[in-house]
Structure 1
């Protein structure tokens, strides 16, 4: 077994180095961040002064937005030093990641010094994207070369899944495997193994696509906003599209990568594509570098109507506009949910949008095919690189399949687009696509389909359902039974209605999935939670809530709430609120363990759903909070109860604890609608338990949630016992109200904010009599329901709800 990587040194504290150090700390590793000593600093200067550069970088990283750390406390794992005084400390680490300036002479000098201090098991990795391993390790020993490789992270490191690994001629395969396993299992990255070629895989394909788009824009006489309308969502690329993404990355960085390709690829048949147009060089000279200088291809105005875009002909700004035909066509296409259908509709468009999209895509797909064997041997590696490193919904070869492999190939041949012989041979052999439904993928070098290697933990809901349906798991067709006995097949959900389904996921686990818009909670979802809990107790040993789509759950169906409130349908609203309260409590006290798998936005009722589960297996990128005050309400699905009870759970019996302090913190989180920006921060806020799981890789979350449920079931699970607590009562309500009045007096809150906050205080303090007895869960639920209904009747709350529905942002009234 290879030595575990526990201590990491990062050399270079620039944007990439600091981001790498932060994410290593996110993973619980001790990190040493080193950089140069400030110029003209004497050797006898205080250590803090000699460490000023990395210390300043760490402080800046703590303030970065989007956040680099899951929680500020993770920064305590990072210590700083300098490359003159502390290089020996780096040599004692298990992994050293070099992220200094992209100059070969400076890197070589550093590696020469490192060689003298590293241990035999220490792996040294460079984060370079432009220099070749052979050149960087020239003159180093065989032992050093054996443990040397490239670890190319993408920025921002925390959020970008792609990690490219590249081995040199002498790199030990065991070192590569050790780092690949570390990258996957510890850092949660998607690993792509590339060859030692300029810009490796992701940037080689991505920059070619971007440069092709820019040159075509100039040829066709389109504007940047026209191009972004086409190359964003309609093409299955991020909403920032081409030029918005360039602004995000930084034009100086983009030009550096393109220039590196142009210089280092003299034999590339499309070398001229990487030649940066003059207007972009002028922008760099003018420091129009994108978001970091607040002006790039786009410049924000005081309002959307005043936003500006660059004119490539003059490099001056003008108001954003664009071609109406393109805008109209792409807006319609963007509404198509399935990215495969979306890109098909785009290419099928007979207007300017479709014609431009075809030219960009056909050249990008063909270039990707021609790179097989040069930058990687695997079409999957290129597709993964573009999805994980550039946030494309479909990689080039997945896009080719979506457009129809045969039809697209024929059209490219007709248009004179150069295709490698391997593609023409593939078509001649009757292949219908690069990917087959059984999971096989076409190997362009071998000329036939091969089984695709896949991590068994990266399982989708559809795959789990299919296994159960085919008898491939111990549980099939609605129950946990003896796997040795013949089992009936389950080709449909165990339970279903218009809003949700419950499927057998195998191994005695029932999986509940929502089908509503944005996975919002409506009466059908509430009904399913009741039915599924009963079914799980009857025929399964555990239940998991595993949704699909962009977000786990954005809360209650607000439209239904505001309509009922405006119509005065109070009985209907009361039934809905009590129904959801009972659903979360039903799961909480079920005879089998219930696990939620939140990710993305997990807000309001979505978080209340998690409160009702025995455990959570959250994606690292989970944004959780009780945000009901933003729409004039308070949590109405037992959120006040379970948030408070969870906070009180750690109080030891007999301890003389003032519950007011705990109530106050819960009150602040609810009244201020505090949203955690990671699963780890959600644990710190008390939204998730410290013992809940965090999945660094979303692709493994379904598997890990299911395993957590099975683990609970197999470890002697028993439902919890209801509890009761003495709460602050009327004195607590009065004190919290004074806090709110101070905010109103200072102009930080409105009178209606105060009214909502007072309702929250009354619930959390157990009502006016909360201090006179142990308050039961049902008492809190009743207080919560009445407060929710009373706020629904407030005109200003109804205004907030309507405003949110119409504008997708809160109203402060």
Structure 2
């Protein structure tokens, strides 16, 4: 299969520019054109300032060549794939394709990033050669972060064209590619758009507040905390009428989506006033300044359209976590949940096979395209198919044939350790995994752990490789985690496996040490126990590094504090591109205590590309730790030396474990533990004074708080080697002793305990 070496994107709006940025993130040169002169250049400049950032690192922006459509069309001549992301009008898109024909070289793939227009409408009148190379590639916004790509091919599309794009999107761009039928809205927006319309309708009809509706749609449904109205604020209220009009024109009049379409005067009024959500003057939620300048959270009253103070919902049904119990509760929250569930699940079950070949594709599309925890058929299994059939019949609604056919079974089952899904033929079939995908969830279905406690488990993943998985809340590290690190090393020493991967399929790799336990221990003055835990952590990290077998870290999501320290002590790391790594202890008034100070200092000291001498490595480590810097991608982590240049980066999260395993096996051949770390020459007292002066200059500018000065003094003492003379070498053991001493000194301070407590209560740092 020929690789994609150069990509063209036409349309420098939010979606087109975002697609171009993700292609550049993958290291592929991309041409970005727009009909408005200068628009592409402006889009790139805007993305370099946008948060969350479309670019994974600033260097990626240099791979984007900008131009305008009239003058620079010839730039597309060398592109292997041209993706169009212009206005959602079939006529405009077809006119663009005609303009591309003279410059698009034979064999170059052409696709549309449409979200609502069927492929058949886009290929009307298209030449046979172009139609054979044409498909729909529907990205979700923002293209960097949303993992779903809906792929639609027409009857004329060559199968190898779809396979080539699917492979590039999967491995190169990190997308889960779902094949969709050529139907309006495809899968995710067909079901998701209907769900949004239904949820708004029922909230208004049942008299719910915005806060109540979003709370009901939250945890039991497995929907992100934005809920319904928060999601509309995020995507823009003004988009809803346009999507509805497009779907209404494309769907039959008796489709439930069309029947659910209603104009709400309150929403129309908000749009007219520019209150279109986060991109406008506020939406269903807004922030306003109070009389004293304080920021007030305000919410729209759905009856009047005016803002009022936000209120915490107090419905009795919100205490329920069981979905069926929630849907059966008599208060308006329960009635709301039931009404939305019947609309959503009845519609989704009726759409197979119209929009997709099977239920697993539908569930994956909704999980990845809308960030739901459960897809519609997984929700049905949580409720029970029999319950849903009875509820639909009691409400006088049709029961979809697929729901009838599944009987009393579920849509999913585990058979002989394999996940199977109910098929249209009435039989269960294994849920397929693409070649090169290894999921810990699949391994756990068919095996038992080698070792386990309440915080972590050790699994055999094949070919003599073991995987250590964390499973505490947010994968926070606690004594149980450290115990399992020690158990894993001990078992490996005895020959239970030949290589170890540290990986979890949770949302975060690890948010660091369990602050709640630390605060509790400090409040009862259990100082000896805390210092013992710090020493235990340092020993566990050293044991990982010095193990007689290779250890490969495989993070996704946040790897903060102790999670970062684990990665610093691995032989190698195979990181998901969306890994956010950092030593953030200063945010809670502490310094890294499990070897993080020493580890990052050594990375800078041993890097031949970095300035040499006693002070430059200290200054680099001090800057990163004192400001609690977090890399916003694995590429930034490389720049910060939290990852090595040789550490791998995987774009598709589902491929991280397999690639980490392959890396571990390669290292296992002839493996020898790393040599004992050499002592470091550090600047001593003079370096500490220099760092202190720099921090006090920041304080004079209002950029550092009083307690920041205290934390930085302790950090500076640690990184400069204490009071030693620069000519004296400082051993790792001595640096670890400095870490422990300064960590404990800071933890005893009331200002640090206030920071820890504030972080636990609010999730935000206290600037004291």
TM over 0.5: yes
Q: 1:283 aligns with which of 270, 277, 280?
A: 270
Give the distance between the partners of 2:457 and 2:132, measured in 1 at CA.
52
2:233 touches 2:283 (CA, 8 Å); kept in 1?
yes
- 1:466: Cα distance to partner? 5.1
Deviates more, 1:130-139 or 1:633-642: 130-139
Equivalent residue number for residue 740 of structure 2: 785
Cα deviation, residue 546, structure 1: 2.1
Give the count of matched residue pairs. Answer: 760
Residues 363-403 of structure 1 deviation map (CA, whole Å, 9 limit, x = unaligned): 21111122223222322221111111011111111111111
1:433 paired with 2:401, answer no
The aligned residue for residue 161 of structure 1 is 147
Q: Find the counterpart in structure 1 of residue 396 from structure 2.
A: 416
Tell me whether 1:579 sits opposite 2:566 in the alignment.
no
* Within-5 A mapping of 1:326-341: 328-330=316-318, 332-333=319-320, 336=321
Structure 1 distance, partners of 2:509, 2:261, is 40
Match of 2:384 in 1: 404
- Does the 8 A contact of 1:165 with 1:193 survive in 2? yes
Answer yes or no: is the 8 Å Cα contact 1:199–1:257 preserved in 2: no
- Which one is further off, 710-719 or 226-235? 710-719
TM-score under structure 1 length normalisation: 0.90
Matched, 1:319 2:309: yes
Q: Which of 466, 487, 500 lines up with 1:510 in the alignment?
A: 466
Deviation by residue 1:643-686 (Cα, 9 ceiling, x = unmatched): 1111222238xx99223122211110001111112222112111
Q: Where does residue 761 of structure 1 map in the other structure?
A: 716
CA distance in 2, matches of 1:319, 1:565: 38
The aligned residue for residue 176 of structure 1 is: 162
Does residue 98 of structure 2 align to residue 112 of structure 1?
yes
Indicate if the aligned counterparts of 1:261 and 1:274 stay in contact, CA closer than 8 A.
no
Match of 2:6 in 1: 7
Task: State yes or no: 1:392 paired with 2:372.
Answer: yes
Deviates more, 1:12-21 or 1:28-37: 28-37
Matches within 5 A, 1:332-731: 332-333=319-320, 336=321, 342-427=322-407, 432-438=409-415, 439-444=419-424, 446-465=425-444, 467=446, 469=447, 491=448, 493-539=449-495, 540-651=497-608, 657-714=612-669, 716-731=671-686
Give, in whole Å, the separation in 1 of the partners of 2:517 and 2:203: 46
2: CA distance, partners of 1:770 / 1:530: 36
Answer yes or no: is the 8 Å Cα contact 1:589–1:719 preserved in 2.
yes
Partner residue of 1:24? 23
Deviation of 1:638 (Å): 0.5
Unpaired stretches in structure 2, ≥5 consecutive residues = none
Q: What do residues 209-240 of structure 1 show as CA deviations (whole Å, max 9, x unaligned)? A: 11111222222222222211111222111110
Does structure 1 conserve the Cα–Cα contact (< 8 Å) formed by 2:327 and 2:338? yes
Equivalent residue in structure 2 for 1:78, among 43, 64, 67: 64
1:131 aligns with 2:117: yes
Which whole-Å CA distance do the structure 1 matches of 2:43 and 2:670 have between them? 46
Q: Secondary structure at the match of 2:135?
A: strand
Q: Offset at 1:613?
A: 0.9
User: Structure 1 residue 498: deviation in Å?
Assistant: 4.0
Contact in 2 for aligned 1:632/1:801 (Cα 8 Å): yes
Inter-CA distance 763–57: structure 2 relative to 1 (3 Å threshold): same
Aligned equivalents of 1:243, 1:188: Cα separation in 2? 29
- Tell me the distance in 2 between the aligned counterparts of 1:441 and 1:562: 46
C-alpha spacing 1:134/1:547, structure 2 compared with 1 (3 Å): closer
Return closer, same or farther for 1:751/1:319 CA change in 2, 3 Å cut-off. Answer: closer
Structure 1 residue 585, shift from structure 2 partner:
1.0
Deviation at 1:521, TM superposition (A): 2.0
Kept after mapping to 1: 8 A contact 2:614/2:726: no
How far is the alpha carbon of 1:567 from its aligned partner? 4.0
Alpha-carbon distance between aligned partners in 2 of 1:810 and 1:365, rounded to the nearest angstrom: 41
- CA shift in 2, pair 1:322/1:716, >3 Å: closer
Partners of 2:385 and 2:403 within 8 A in 1: no
Q: 1:1-39 CA distances to partner (integer Å, 9 max, x unpaired)?
A: x3210110110100000110111111111111111244x
Deviation by residue 1:284-313 (Cα, 9 ceiling, x = unmatched): 222111000141122223489942222333
2: CA distance between counterparts of 1:572 and 1:359? Answer: 53
Correspondence for 1:802: 757
Deviation at 1:497?
3.6
In structure 2, which of residues 209, 223, 231 is the aligned counterpart of residue 223 of structure 1?
Answer: 209
1: CA distance between counterparts of 2:423 and 2:666?
Answer: 39
How many Å separate the matches in 2 of 1:449 and 1:279? 47
2:628 is paired with a residue of what secondary structure? coil
TM-score (norm 2): 0.95
Q: In 2, are the aligned partners of 1:235 and 1:346 still within 8 Å (CA)?
A: no
